[in-house]
């Protein structure tokens, strides 16, 4: 039985500035999950054309679902002390569940659908359920209680979709995930009067460390996918050029993410910001990082596919992946800092998106090598222009 002393211990605990080793271990599981998602994207490019959109939609659904788990766990660890034994148990249980989800991904719309859906529901209900019970009587209790209400509702749709199978599975799961994303974007509102108000107090330095850590893990996928594709046939002039382009893209991603001028910063402690406003800021950053990581995965897949099939003509879907990935990254990074922080908005990233959009159509008439090199050079140009135009003190750990 939970005692009142234990309740105070959780609600009054504070998250450290640095991410813990267990959180790093948690992210390592997502290396495997990201690899499985990248594999699905690669498979989507080689299937029959009339099922391309549906297969891509399934991959997007899985990516968003996995992201919801990661972001809510990062938020929990940035609100309460992740060094507590009870929260470490929650993280370990979520880590094991995430591993099951990643293993189930290839057949989630087939024979493993029930396993995938039930595991996802247990993770998403179990976390807020424990926090709700442990925080009874504490002012922060309404926050996880609202999240629990939303996931109890969507859990029915997840399990119902798994049981129905076929087209119904996709419909049920899409509706469920859309509801969850809407809830996260609107701070999980509920008509229940007792839990309308109240929320969490977020340690933004810790959350920023978690985001930076996950970004670097995702960025490694570009070199892993490209390097693995090159290593089997060996180096040639064309494959070496692709490897160099991948390296330049990785460096540009790193430079733009960590040194771009518009950084998110939490309001000072004496600014009067509410817990709800802090949660909204964290959700803004979470949705932006979703685009950033999605763009990086697309880049990893695109470069790897060109290594495996460097001969023309290039497929239009592959062109979309190669140029759409960097565009998603730039859009996500541009909105990582909300306009309310008082900084002058930099438009260089939007110019980069426009350049990618203009350069993409002619690539269907050129060699695949030209596409990856062009995309990499545009990213490098954006990074260089951003550095020359917005000079600022060196900083390698942007804070939220």
Residue 193 has pLDDT above 50, yes or no: yes
Please compute the mean of the pLDDT values over residues 261-279 and round it to a whole number.
47
**Maximum CA pair distance of the chain?**
69
Residue 3 has pLDDT above 60, yes or no: no
pLDDT band at 45 (very low <50, low <70, confident <90, very high): low
Tokens at residue 114, please? 């029930």
pLDDT band at 152 (very low <50, low <70, confident <90, very high): very high
| Top mean-pLDDT range of 17-21, 45-49, 93-97, 341-345 | 93-97
| pTM for the structure as a whole | 0.84
Please identify which residue in the block is written with the tokens 């596409």. Answer: 371
Rounded CA-CA distance 341/99 in Å is 38
Neighbours of 307 (CB within 10 A): 25
Instruction: Please tell me the predicted confidence (pLDDT) of residue 341.
Output: 46
Residue 173 has pLDDT above 70, yes or no: yes
pLDDT above 70: percentage of residues in the chain: 83
131 with 76: CB under 8 angstroms? yes
Rounded CA-CA distance 373/326 in Å is 12
Which candidate, 18, 79, 335, places its Cα nearest to that of 205?
Answer: 18
Tokens at residue 374, please? 């062009």
Please compute the mean of the pLDDT values over residues 336-342 and round it to a whole number.
56
Rounded CA-CA distance 120/130 in Å is 16
pLDDT above 90: percentage of residues in the chain: 38
């Amino acid at each position: 039985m939970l005692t009142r002393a234990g309740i105070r211990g959780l609600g009054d605990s504070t998250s450290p500035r640095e991410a813990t080793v267990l959180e790093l271990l948690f992210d390592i599981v997502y290396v495997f999950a990201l690899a499985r998602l990248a594999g699905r994207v690669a498979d989507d490019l080689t299937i029959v054309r009339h099922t391309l959109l549906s297969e891509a939609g399934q991959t997007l659904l899985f990516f968003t679902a996995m992201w919801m788990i990661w972001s809510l766990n990062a938020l929990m660890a940035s609100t309460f002390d992740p060094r507590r034994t009870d929260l470490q148990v929650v993280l370990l249980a979520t880590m094991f569940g995430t591993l099951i989800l990643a293993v189930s991904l290839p057949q989630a719309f087939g024979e493993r659908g029930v396993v995938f859906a039930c595991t996802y529901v247990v993770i998403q209900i179990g976390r807020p359920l424990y926090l709700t019970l442990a925080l009874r009587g504490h002012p922060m209790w309404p926050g996880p209680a609202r999240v629990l209400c939303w996931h109890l509702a969507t859990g029915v749709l997840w399990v119902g979709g798994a049981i129905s199978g076929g087209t119904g599975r996709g419909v049920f799961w899409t509706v469920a995930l859309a509801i969850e994303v809407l809830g996260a974007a609107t701070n999980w509102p509920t008509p229940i009067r007792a839990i309308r108000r109240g929320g969490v107090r977020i340690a933004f330095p810790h959350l920023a460390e978690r985001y930076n850590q996950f970004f670097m893990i995702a960025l490694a996928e570009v070199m892993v996918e490209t390097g693995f594709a090159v290593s089997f046939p060996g180096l040639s002039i064309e494959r070496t050029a692709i490897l160099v382009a991948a390296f330049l893209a990785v460096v540009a991603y790193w430079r733009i993410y960590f040194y771009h001028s518009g950084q998110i910063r939490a309001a000072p402690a004496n600014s009067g910001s509410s817990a709800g406003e802090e949660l909204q800021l964290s959700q803004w950053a979470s949705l932006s990082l979703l685009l950033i990581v999605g763009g990086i995965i697309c880049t990893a897949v695109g470069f790897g596919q060109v290594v495996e099939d460097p001969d023309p003509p290039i497929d239009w879907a592959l062109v979309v992946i190669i140029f759409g990935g960097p565009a998603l990254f730039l859009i996500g990074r541009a909105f990582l800092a909300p306009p309310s922080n008082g900084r002058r908005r930099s438009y260089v990233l939007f110019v980069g998106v426009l350049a990618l959009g203009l350069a993409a159509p002619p690539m269907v008439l050129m060699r695949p090598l030209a596409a990856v090199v062009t995309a990499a050079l545009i990213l490098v140009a954006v990074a260089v222009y951003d550095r020359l135009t917005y000079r600022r003190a060196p900083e390698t750990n942007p804070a939220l």
